[in-house]
Amino acid sequence: MSFRVFDPLRDILSLQERMNRLFEESLSRERELPPRERGAAWSPAADVYETAESFVVLVELPGVSEDDVIVSVDGDELRLRGQRRHPGPRPESFARLERSYGPFARDFRFSAEVDPDRVAAEFHDGLLRIEIRKFLGAGGRERE
């Protein structure tokens, strides 16, 4: 049997730190989402980078089925919508619940127009990789 020394100051500081983290996370997520995305239950982490020919978006979607993801391109914007479903029946109570479930939404705007007919997506091990080719106008040049 182990004993824990009661230290009220440590417990209060730990509680304050957890509350601060909770408020920071909820406020920062709400502020960074455009108004139409604020109805989403969660927002997956993403990396976006540009090459000479395309834009690449990497999105972390662990526990999300490929069938539950919708990708669309309109002008210079990529829209990603989907849902992470709870695996199996939802328990009455949780000892800890850290993962988010339900709908998600992300929008990405690019610095150049992209070609909606030249989008490639791969979904592997919970990572969605989307490559969108830049629009090539007459003569094979990017549209300005």
**Does the reported pTM lie above 0.85?**
no
Residue 84 near residue 65, CB atoms below 8 Å: no
| 24 and 75 share one domain | no
pLDDT tens for 48-91 read 999 999 999 999 999 999 999 999 998 889 999 999 998 888 78
Look up the domain containing 110 and give its range.
Answer: 39-87+99-144
User: What six digits make up the tokens of 16?
Assistant: 């304050």
| 107 and 139 share one domain | yes
| 27 and 43 share one domain | no
Q: Does residue 94 belong to any structural domain of this protein?
A: no
Distance of CA 125 to the CA centre of its chain: 15
Task: Give the total number of structural domains in the chain.
Answer: 2
| 77 and 104 share one domain | yes
| 78 and 19 share one domain | no
| 122 and 79 share one domain | yes
pLDDT tens for 100-140 read 889 999 999 998 889 999 999 999 999 999 999 998 765 44
